[in-house]
Amino acid sequence: MATNGASNGTGGGPVNGNDKTLSPAFNDINADAQPDLLSAAEFTAACDAMARDYLDGKVSQQTPSLLYITGLPGAGKSTFAAAAKAKKPELQDAAHINFDDLRVYHPRYAQHVQKDSVNAAARIDKAVETLIGWLGEEAARRKVNVILDDAAMGQDITKLILAPFRDGGYDISAVVVAVPSVVARQSVHLRFEENFAAARQGQDVIPRWVNRSEERRVGEE
Q: Which domains does the chain have, with CATH numbers?
A: 30-220 (3.40.50.300)
pLDDT of residue 143: 98
pLDDT digit string (tens) for 74-103?
666 788 888 888 888 778 899 999 988 999
Per the CB < 8 A criterion, the answer to whether 66 and 171 are in contact is yes
pLDDT digits (tens, 9 = 90+) for 28-80: 666 677 789 999 999 999 999 999 999 999 999 999 999 999 877 666 678 88
For residue 145, the Cα-to-chain-centroid distance in whole angstroms is 19
Choose between 189 and 139: higher pLDDT. 139
Give pLDDT, residue 21: 42
**Residue 151 dihedral angles phi and psi, to the nearest 5°:** -70, 150
Give the residues across from 69 on adjacent strands.
Answer: 149, 175
Q: What percent of the chain lies above the pLDDT cut of 90?
A: 38
Coil, helix or strand at residue 25: coil
Q: Could you tell me if 72 and 184 are in contact, meaning their C-beta atoms sit under 8 angstroms apart? A: yes
